[in-house]
Structure 1
Amino acid sequence: MRRSILRYTKHRITQQPDTEATFEAKCLTCAWEAKPASDGATVDVECMSHTGRTQHNRFRRLCTSVALVERAE
């Protein structure tokens, strides 16, 4: 019989330093896409402007970032 010793270590996840999150949006009615930006509000304004021009009101929004997992000590 083989025995194992389990050790649990707490970890935390944060955004990788020196990187920025990227925000994107795509209209679910047509092929329109917002220009990717590091500011989510900028993308939201583009979506609202698109809605004002076209009456399309459904969007897929993405936020992409690089994650860093470290031991919490």
Structure 2
Amino acid sequence: MARSIVRFVKHRITQHPDTDVTFEAECLAYECEWKASPSTDGAAVDIECMSHTGRTGHGSFRRLCTSFALVERAE
């Protein structure tokens, strides 16, 4: 029977230093295909959503926040 040695190593997860967080949004109204332009400025995406609501009356959106993670050993 083979023997194994198991050791636990602590890790940490952080935002990848060479990337930015990207914000996006899309309208959830039936048959509306409107989407906000992706941006690193979340407030700009929110303003686009509010402008879309003003023009169409659509008030429901899915907001997405995308970031890239880096996992490293915490030694």
Unaligned residue ranges in structure 2 (runs of 5+): none
Q: What is the distance in 2 between the residues matched to 1:42 and 1:3?
A: 57
Distance across 1 between alignment mates of 2:13 and 2:6: 22
Deviation above 2 Å: which 4+ runs of structure 1? none
The Cα offsets for residues 14-66 of structure 1, whole Å up to 9 and x where unpaired, read as: 11112111111110111111011001111111111211221111111111122
* Residues 14-29 of structure 1: pairs in structure 2 closer than 5 A: 14-29=14-29
Counterpart of 2:10 in structure 1 is 10
C-alpha RMSD of the superposition: 1.2
Give TM-score, length-normalised by structure 1: 0.88
Aligned residues: 73
Q: Percent identity?
A: 73
